[in-house]
A and B are shown apart, each in its own frame.
Chain A
């Protein structure tokens, strides 16, 4: 323990620089030991690492470094080296000269361009597409916890970038009784993702259909915009995209769109789907697919919304959906929604 610092704060260990350096040195793995575990040449690895530290300290130029090692690395790693972008090559922040960059054996472009390319899904067959999961997604909304703040509606609009007049989630406010015996219930209404969806039943081109994970999908590339599904939905959960924008409120509002149903459609433009199509809540399928909860569930301030697998009897949503407090909207319609409410 060093006592050179006078203004020691209570409860905070007083550690000097030398101590820290020792700690780092103790933790640092032995390069030869580490590299012994991989197939590549240990000597080359150690030499490249030591020279890379020299580049970092400014004792060696990036150009010299790559002149020295490009060929050796290409020989050592072969095809893999040619396909991997070189971190020194970058459009915005390049640390080597153009000549050296062009002379390199790895020719796939900069890190920047490679990272923005769509990911190549290994073995992209039908078993791997969107909505093919084993679970049956369900939502349980606890009306006792809902305070009617509408933040789910706002989170939904911002997540799904929905245009004016399209709101996948709304909170219906119902007032009953007469003063002083008045009750008010807030009922959030996303798409019910019904097991027997009337919208799917009426679509003349099968543009809307149920996915294996229970979510009702809309194929914007097939929807003809006849709006029969809006007529058929007993929950008013479907909306027509009239092509309106928030351009007056936000500059370039249409620049960013949501990859609904896992499809990135780029900027919002006239005559391009989903304009002229019918839209609705997808349980944020694009978020579910990457292991996240829907935006409304994540944002709910009272934790009133729950998302999970209704097919898993041990899941929280399955247990809540089974409780005596649980009910569905318009049960008599026979649509069997996958959104449950707790009284």
Chain B
């Protein structure tokens, strides 16, 4: 990309016009299906789902915690550059931050559509409950989104200012507006941005770990009525699997955007760093999950053991073996084992995508199985598979996320203009 010279051109979007059309057509399809499903959801109410009073939480909750995890993971990867100052990572910090913002928006859409009274979604900001993890979470999400937007602003401001100075007309004005009028591109202004990028990032790390995603884990872990969730290790696994999916997502986005949008070659050293990071998270995630299962089985607590048996051998055990074990751990791990594969972009895209999809199954296997075994002997067993309306709305909401990300990636300078921007 040309960053110098009088003939300034800034076109961060798709390199290939036909690919752009195909991609937007695909997103339109998702949105159209999602819109129809959402129409059914709104007119038929919660009766359009397969949820019951025995299994009151389903696909929407699973997707909600999935996207919160994706966001927290992506944000933490961005702090490798912005707080821990690992040089090569600067290339991907805006990608990571922007993906984290979009994931949060998607997560909140899932929370919203899941409410029995969608019209009352602002109530948690009017009435609170100090002992409720969910009440705290709602506020943590808002603070976290504020942190993410601030981070992206300080990370990108210098390039927005450069664009505002060099481009005329509406585009120049738009970038000036996004830079909030701070159009100085001198070294002191850049140093100011770097300082605040680091400070806000330092605040963001504990917020993301303990409040946003750890807190979402706590939301489940405090439920003593469900022994499967009721463990201290549970929120920790939440965070690790979030890091797993977040790293995988950032790796996929880095490769795809570099190749398809920037038309450049992938920095193989950076790719290998991300791949090693992913490998580490897969090992920790699998190990901690094994520990959790071991504790459950050793306890011989009937409810806990029964729930694990449902996970491993129940009706939906295919999602555990194929997607949780296979897609999020084994398949990517195999692809990550050889150094030459770790330096092959398309292999890493496949490995990243399988992990990103596999963690969806991890989230489903958190939410659903704990509701299958009844809380008391004599009450009915639960059974749940999402309805087409639940799938449709979920696909539509993911489509909204893809659209927002693509439009942003086509407009914003997500790739730093020059090496050493952050030095």
Contacts and interface: CB of A to CB of B under 8 A. Distances in A.
A17 to B, nearest CB: 65
A288 interface: no
Q: Which of B47, B56, B131, B226 has the most CB of A within 10 A?
A: B56
B225 A234 contact: yes
B223 A206 contact: no
Contact of A222 (B54, B127, B138): B127
A231 B224 contact: no
B135 to A, nearest CB: 4
B116 A227 contact: yes
Contact of B129 (A206, A231, A276, A278): A206
Nearest to A199: B225
B320 to A, nearest CB: 21
A232 B225 contact: yes
A225 B117 contact: yes
A238 interface: yes
Contacts, number: 137
Given A206-B127, A222-B123, A244-B47, A228 B134 contact: yes
B375 A233 contact: yes
A232 to B, nearest CB: 5
A174 interface: yes
Interface stretch (A103-111, A165-173, A304-312): A165-173
B57 A227 contact: yes
B17 interface: no
B146 interface: no
Contacts of A281: none
Interface in B96-126: 114-117, 120-121, 123-124, 126
A204 B47 contact: no
Contact of B114 (A201, A226, A243, A244): A226
Contacts of A198: 223-225
B116 A240 contact: yes
Interface string B34-57: 000000000001110001111011
A204 B137 CA distance: 9
Nearest to B229: A231
Interface in A316-332: 329-330
B382 to A, nearest CB: 10
Interface of B: 45-47, 51-54, 56-57, 114-117, 120-121, 123-124, 126-129, 131-135, 138, 219, 222-226, 371, 374-379
Given A240-B46, A242-B46, 10 more contacts: A174-B377, A205-B126, A227-B116, A234-B225, A234-B376, A236-B374, A271-B45, A276-B46, A276-B117, A333-B225
